[in-house]
Each structure stands twice: as C-alpha cells, then as structure tokens.
C-alpha cells in the first residue's frame, strides 16, 4: 500500500503561517509608528511624562530591533528625560545614541550633552545645599558652572546663584544677576518675579 503524503495540507498550513506572520509583523509595525506619533504629539505639547510613556511602549513593541524608527524613538525619549530632569536616564540615552552614531559627526555634540549631565548633577547637589540653608557653600559649587551661554547647566546655575544672593539678603547683587538672566531668557516668569522682589528691597 502506497502512503500519500499530505502535501496540500502542508502547503496550506505553510501559507496560513506566513500570512499570520506577515499580519502580526504589520500590526506590530503599525503599533510602533502609532505610539511614536502619539508620543511626538504629546512632546510638542510639552507633556513630557505622557510622551515618554508612549515612546517606551513603542520601544517595547520593537522587541530589541534596531532600526531608524527605534533610533528616532530613543532620541525623543532621551529628550523627554532631559526635560523631566531625569539626568541619569538622559545620560544613559545619550551614551547609547553616541555608540549608535559612532561613525557620524555627532560625537562632539553628544559629548557636550554628557558634559551637561555632569554639570546638572552638580547643580542638583547645590540645590540640596540651598534647601538646607547652606547658601555660601552652594554658591561655591555653582560659580564655575554659572554662565549665560545657552547651556542648560549654565542657565540653572546662574539662576540658583541669584537665589543664593537673595537668601543672603544681597538684594542688589541678586537683582543684577536676575536682570542679566532676563536679557538672555526674557519672559521667564520665575526670574521676573524674583527680579521685581529684589529690586524693591
């Protein structure tokens, strides 16, 4: 008796498996792009925490795949962490981007951002001293970083230096620092409020 091999069933199963694989891949791909686009929309509205959730979900849906889309998502999520003052998370993101871009000309830019993260850690430690009333010690830490050159660290350090002068009741010095700050960052409500207070003392 000759056995009949069920080629028709095998072919049908293979085709169905292929269709299911393609459908699943397309669905996952669509989900990643949708989550990414939703994250970008929230990012543009300044809703960084919500945006970061979308970007992380999009990255999870990528299941470790490395592509242009995942690179784009990583850049956005790292920027979200920076805006949310998660400097350690931002550092990890920038280090990953630096490795991914090792063959491009972006290395100096990423190194500058990593240096910013180092500076922001100093600013964070100085804020703790300010909270404890150690204003002179905080100023000593902040002074090397305080500059109005457009850097994140420089801006934060300059503002906190002015706050220290205010707490020390050096109102003229504080007002002068806030005034210089407002020339470079006009419209900053916190700085404007502090400037008007110190100027009136």
- pLDDT band per the 50, 70, 90 thresholds, residue 21: very low
In the three-class reduction of DSSP (H, G, I as helix; E, B as strand; rest coil), residue 146 is classed as: coil
> CA-CA distance, 60 to 41, in Å (whole number)?
19
- Give the count of beta carbons closer than 10 Å to the beta carbon of residue 132: 10
- Domain boundary residue among 84, 99, 129? 84
Q: How many CB atoms lie within 10 A of CB 60?
A: 11
The answer to whether residue 54 sits within a structural domain is yes
Q: Please, what is the average pLDDT of the chain?
A: 84
* Cβ within 8 Å of residue 97, ≥6 positions away: 71, 74, 75, 78, 106, 110
Distance (Å, rounded) from C-alpha 27 to C-alpha 168?
60
pLDDT at 47: 94
Tell me, yes or no, whether 149 and 72 share the same domain.
Answer: no
Does residue 101 form part of some domain?
no
pLDDT digits (tens, 9 = 90+) for 65-118: 667 888 889 999 999 998 898 888 988 998 888 888 776 667 888 888 888 888
In a domain, 111, yes or no: no
Separation between Cα atoms, residue 179 and residue 171, nearest integer Å: 12
- Summarised one tens digit per residue, pLDDT across range 147-196 is 999 988 999 999 999 999 999 999 999 999 999 999 999 999 999 999 99
Range of the domain at 169: 118-201
CATH no. for residue 21? 1.20.58
Q: Do 67 and 133 have their domain in common? A: no
pTM for the full model? 0.65
- The number of domains in the chain is 2
84, 107, 141: which is the final residue of a domain? 84
């Amino acid at each position: 008796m000759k056995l009949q091999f069920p080629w028709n069933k095998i072919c049908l199963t293979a085709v169905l498996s292929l269709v299911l694989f393609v459908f699943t891949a397309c669905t996952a791909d669509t989900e990643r792009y949708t989550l990414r686009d939703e994250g970008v929309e929230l990012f543009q509205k300044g809703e960084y925490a919500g945006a970061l959730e979308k970007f992380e979900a999009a990255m999870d849906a990528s299941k470790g795949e490395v592509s242009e889309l995942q690179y784009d998502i990583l850049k956005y999520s790292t920027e979200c962490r920076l805006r949310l003052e998660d400097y350690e998370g931002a550092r990890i993101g920038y280090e990953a981007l630096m490795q991914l871009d090792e063959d491009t000309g972006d290395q100096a830019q990423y190194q500058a951002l990593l240096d910013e993260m180092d500076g922001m850690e100093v600013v964070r430690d100085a804020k703790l001293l300010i909270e404890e009333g150690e204003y002179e010690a905080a100023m000593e830490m902040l002074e090397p970083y305080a500059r109005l050159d457009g850097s994140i660290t420089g801006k934060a350090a300059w503002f906190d230096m002015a706050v220290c002068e205010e707490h020390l009741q050096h109102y003229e010095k504080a007002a002068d620092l806030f005034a210089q700050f407002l020339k470079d960052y006009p419209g900053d409500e916190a700085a404007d409020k502090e400037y008007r207070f110190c100027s009136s003392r």
